[in-house]
Amino acid sequence: MSAQVFPPNLGASYACGTRIGDYVSNIPPELLAAIFHTAQRPSAVDEQQPGEEDDEFAHRCGLQTQVEVLVSHVNVYWRNIALSTSILWRHIHIGQNESVEKIRAYLARSGPCTPLHFRLDLTRNIPALAEILDLVFEQLGRWERFTIHSNMETASVPVVSRLYDTAAPSLEQLGLCIHDVDSENLQRVRRGDFEQILTQGCPRLTVLRLRGLSMHFFRPPLTNITTLYLEQTRGLFMGYECFKHFLTAAPALAHLSIHDAIIDEGADFWPDNSVDCIPLPNLVSLRISIPGTLQHIFSDILISISAPELQSLVLKEVGQIHLDRFLQLPSASSKFPALRSLTFCDFDYQSPERLALMCAALPSITEFTCIHTTAYAPTILVMMAGKSTASVAGSPTGDPWPHLRTFSTNLDVDDLELTKEAVERRQRIGCPLWLLRISGIEEEDIDEDEEETWEWLGENLTVERFEAIERWPPGSDYDPDDTLFT
């Protein structure tokens, strides 16, 4: 492990160490420093839980974000390790009533070379904001991660605007969540330039979140971006040409998340003949949510992109008819040859005929997740149980997804018998399910009538519980800012 991570000169004091019988005072310094560092990592338990009061949630989050302070107040041994482990002090969270003294202390304890992770919540009052921002931007060369949430970018106290004509050589992750820009600042923003901030270079920037007005006024170079979040939360649309420019300007793009409409149909249009006009040769995961009335853009996007390496597709709140144009595309079944994982959020086809079109258009699915909001059993279960006349074109038996092995969904106890029938039929036709992941059923909900069916399922395939869809991108760590798809 690097010398920057662990305290360099505590070995001798540990060897001489205390004779205290307390175990925590005799943990080797390298191990203790690693434990402190691990404890700082955010996780899903830091989300507000159902029924949890706001003040309880705020207190719990406060404890999580101050691990470095808490461990430095246990005893002298722990304090020496904490203060000597510079990486513990690189996470600098700036929020309501933040003090300049705290920021200075963190910067001093992080040392001169440790990469810094800044998180700015400017949605509430910070009296010393101007002085704090000066301290933050003095360290621009050390930024490794930088996230800002702001209601208003102002000309009097600019924040993101400071990134014009600058370089951030160490920056790897950037999150700009800007709700609005004041009228005076609107005269200064660089609308005409596609690259607007960090124009002197950000060669290590690979993860970018642009929310609100950021995608219009604060765009950095995209050359090395591998993960891109385009999160439209205001009524200012980028338009088709700008959207296309965004994606083609990021040749390394592997993970793309799109939230809300791209175009304003009153002032823009999506070309009719746009098949494969946006090449994304390295894209492996795609996530789309288009709430509202412009849901035909689901089909527009899927038709327009060429992504031969796409492996995972997540669709949230898509309407019953709004994938039809893509599904009926003659080349649909060969468009995404590597696609194996499909997720529906807040949606389930109530029409087996339409789901049959989906199965034919995306024939190689091995993992299917359906988080639905209807009171009906998932349509895929009805089809897999052979209780539908809808037949999937291209499937040897007419059944959906012959290669499907993992199915995740929310069920009621009343759906267990249908689930058993689906599992039995898949076994009979030689397309068995291996893993069933269920949400919505608790052990106490299962009475004697369903107990036998529940046990049968457990004997014939692996049954697991799950509470939410997988983190995105697949395999990534918990992201506290990824709130628009939950």
Domain assignments of the chain as residue spans, ordered by start: 1-89, 340-486
So what's the pLDDT on residue 52?
59
Residue 153, token pair as written in the block: 């970018």
So what's the pLDDT on residue 483?
87
So what's the pLDDT on residue 235?
75
CB atoms within 10 A of CB 362: 21
Residue 184, token pair as written in the block: 């005076």
CB atoms within 10 A of CB 26: 14
Q: Pseudo-torsion of CA 365, 366, 372, 377, nearest 10°?
A: 100
For 95, phi and psi rounded to 5 degrees?
-140, -155
Cα separation, 433 vs 425, whole angstroms: 10
Residue 144 amino acid letter: E
So what's the pLDDT on residue 17?
47
Below-50 pLDDT ranges, the chain: 1-4, 9-21
So what's the pLDDT on residue 49?
56
**In a 10 Å sphere around its CB, with 0-12 CB exposed, 13-18 middle and 19+ buried, how is residue 389 labelled?**
exposed
So what's the pLDDT on residue 355?
92
Cα separation, 29 vs 8, whole angstroms: 9
So what's the pLDDT on residue 485?
83
So what's the pLDDT on residue 285?
98
So what's the pLDDT on residue 50?
53
Cα separation, 94 vs 129, whole angstroms: 9
For 366, phi and psi rounded to 5 degrees?
-115, -20
**In a 10 Å sphere around its CB, with 0-12 CB exposed, 13-18 middle and 19+ buried, how is residue 403 labelled?**
exposed
Question: 457 near 432, Cβ under 8 Å?
Answer: no
Please, what's the largest Cα pairwise distance for the chain?
78
